[in-house]
Amino acid sequence: MTAFAVASGAAGIAVEALGDGLPVVLLHAGVADRRMWGAQVGALAAAGCRAIAYDRRGFGETLHADDGYSHVGDLVAVLDACAPREPAILVGCSQGGRIAIDAALAHPERVSGLLLVAPAISGAPEPSSFPPAIQAWIDRVERAEAASDTDRINALEAHAWLDGPLEREGRVGGAARELFLAMNEIALRAEVRGAEIEPPPAWNRLAELAIPTLVAWGDLDFPSVVATCEHLVATVRGARRHVFAGAAHLPNLEQPAAFNRVLLDFCASGAAGRA
């Protein structure tokens, strides 16, 4: 595996790449970094793809910088360095999914397919209310933030995003939980610098997407996330769905073998579309 830095404005984006063939870029969630894709990078390379994963600013090994920036601009810099000659499949989880959608709308010539895992969407309306158990979790997070209790915030976020907000705390243990806590701690403690340049909202432009799109989610995720996924499937022309039973927001960490089957099948379809 090759690890290197890609210049994007004043930032050095930490990237790793493995394999040759169809480029597949993996965009991590906002509670993780590129390590969340560890089980996918090798599987993609073994299947004849070029797997590309990177840390966004403030995550993993990529520091914030003092310049104004856009996440789509950073992604394009990675594409220019790692996949300059052909469009790539973008696999984005949560906030990584939001960036993938924004990039596909802004640069359709650079994107051949979207696999969106519990994606956020720029411009999406905020939920008007939450189930009592989730509202109670939000209140606990706000109290921990007011107390600057980073360890408590990390534990609360692991409960919601890894276990599922309506599931028992600690449902997911072992290496997956250890990795989540390690990745999210870096993000929670990162020094924020620079100003993000927000893209045009995508919520009302989803029907413009005209590439193969698969929307995947776990049935233990936030109800609002599931509703967003359902909206995507209903709005994007030809979009397909896959629901991971018994998984929450990060199904690739919980069910790597099942996730890889879905991922490789989607990429094989994309490769066939190039022929």
% of residues, the chain, pLDDT over 70 = 97
Distances (CA, A) of 222 to 96, 117, 190, 225, 261: 17, 13, 26, 5, 24
pLDDT of 118 > 50? The answer is yes
Mean pLDDT of 150-156: 99
Q: Which two tokens stand for residue 88?
A: 């790539």
pLDDT of 88 > 50? The answer is yes
Each residue's pLDDT tens digit, 6-39:
999 999 999 999 999 999 999 999 999 999 999 9
Mean pLDDT of 159-180: 98
CA distance 44 to 52: 10
Which one-letter DSSP state was computed for residue 191? P
Whole-prediction pTM? 0.96
pLDDT of 194 > 90? The answer is no
Mean pLDDT of the chain: 96
Each residue's pLDDT tens digit, 64-80:
999 999 999 999 999 99
pLDDT of 271 > 70? The answer is no
Which domains are seen in the chain, by residue range? Answer: 2-126+192-274 (3.40.50.1820), 133-189 (no CATH)
pLDDT of 273 > 60? The answer is no
pLDDT of 45 > 60? The answer is yes
Query: Is 202 within 8 Å of 101 (Cβ atoms)?
Result: yes
CA distance 139 to 5: 39
Q: What is the pLDDT of residue 275?
A: 36
* Closest among 99, 110, 76 to 6, alpha carbons compared: 76
Mean pLDDT of 254-267: 98
Q: What is the pLDDT of residue 270?
A: 65
SS3 label, residue 116: strand
Mean pLDDT of 262-267: 98
